Structure 1
């Protein structure tokens, strides 16, 4: 189905299951919804609402704007389209940052926030060098794969699959999991990715952000995979700051914990929704 934003951009969206609404915010920036497995895991617990962010995936190609404020407004258009006054939010990676930004802007419209594999609220420079080092180390397990990744353009599907293979703790199954992420392939919006990542680099780690998080009176569940190549210590800043945060770390999972530990992921989210 189609959700139309207040500035006329058409967003792809889908709903399944039954119960109170749970809206999912996918990662990226510049990617698309890859939550089909998550919806299947949770659709007996909630009405699961998926959507592709502005200019990405199955949503209308547009010229932006590529700002968190604009994406928060788009997420609110999704909420209005499906009707709930309040919704639970689950965001993954960049989508976790977006879901947090929405909750800070509209806390009265959020019942619960599930923050999956995000990177906290400290400056990006505190964790990104360690992430880059770990990414190269995992790709370097196969020198030919690393060399191939380095020579391909950033929006190439083969490069994406090679990079995504570093996201999984189970190294034997990592190529299979990464290939599933790219099927179907909708193309990476590199302009969106560049702009929003630059905004996060400038906006995270500010006193204003810490103060806003300290004042956020919402239940928040942080879900990590212990094998995520983004250092999990990055999320400590958020856990310390939020007044009502719980945290579950799944020991045998990487950056997409529902793929490698679906049972543990479902149990954690089910507890938060209850």
Structure 2
């Protein structure tokens, strides 16, 4: 385990595994922590990775923010510099996919490749959030007692998170087990961070400037979707159309965490872009 010092003095938890060129992983949330242990337990290239907790979250130093994408991009730059990486391959999941894309747009020369997992595209929230909310409530509504427990649980509590995360998996039988593993260890949801960054996304994401910025991005991008994600995958079409060097892989039997429900399919997809990038060196 290592401590990365951000340029404003906040310390970020980080961990490196493996010996080859590492994937730098950006976890979801916002306001959560690195939950990639299952992913990095898979064979290379996924086992060669740098994991880190975003500021004020998980094992990183508690602080008062600021909770902005610009600040989190600067923190990711501090991670890159701490580990002495010239260019890095970024893998971001969910909110972390948006963060990784934002970093690549800000620092294209420092990103060898971008792996964009279970993101929500570059359009406005209206492209996906109403359908996501409806799908979420419909799936929870299959078990009315569970829906009632979720509504009664305090925001940010472990109980509410476990119920919410269980909806993310297509395999309903194993969903509670997967959610329990996500919550172990439990560090608590940073609700202030979550609220601020979600509000920023709703306000600023989907603006016209994003589309030409993505069209100018020369970085190779792999988009990985779980076909059974309750966030409509059509939301990502806007990003796919804008990127000049993109490949998209959809894993049919997987939900929002595709490496959990189709680990071999996920590993093959990631290995394919890394082989491509190495040929281009």
TM-score band by shorter chain is over 0.9
What is the aligned partner in structure 2 of residue 127 from structure 1?
128
Which contiguous aligned blocks of 4+ residues in structure 1 show a shift greater than 3 angstroms? 42-47
Helix, strand or coil at the partner of 1:145: helix
Question: How far apart in 2 are the matches of 1:37 and 1:142?
Answer: 28
Contact 1:12 1:58 in 2 (8 A): yes
Question: How far apart in 2 are the matches of 1:269 and 1:128?
Answer: 27
Q: TM-score, normalised by structure 2?
A: 0.96
What is the aligned partner in structure 1 of residue 220 from structure 2?
219
Question: How far apart in 1 are the matches of 2:157 and 2:214?
Answer: 37
Structure 2: give runs of 5+ residues left out of the alignment. Answer: 276-281
What is the aligned partner in structure 2 of residue 85 from structure 1?
86
Q: TM-score, normalised by structure 1?
A: 0.98
Task: Evaluate the alpha carbon distance shift between residue 18 and residue 68 of structure 1 in structure 2; reply closer, same or farther with a 3 A threshold.
Answer: same
What is the aligned partner in structure 1 of residue 269 from structure 2?
268
Q: Which of 88-97 and 41-50 deviates more?
A: 41-50
Contact 2:88 2:113 in 1 (8 A): yes
- How far has the Cα of 1:44 moved from its partner? 4.8
What is the aligned partner in structure 1 of residue 98 from structure 2?
97
RMSD: 0.9
- How far has the Cα of 1:46 moved from its partner? 6.5
Instruction: Please tell me whether residue 58 in structure 1 is matched to residue 55 in structure 2.
Output: no
Contact 2:93 2:116 in 1 (8 A): yes
Question: How far apart in 2 are the matches of 1:47 and 1:56?
Answer: 23
What is the aligned partner in structure 2 of residue 118 from structure 1?
119
- How far has the Cα of 1:47 moved from its partner? 3.2
Helix, strand or coil at the partner of 1:199: helix
Question: How far apart in 2 are the matches of 1:164 and 1:247?
Answer: 25
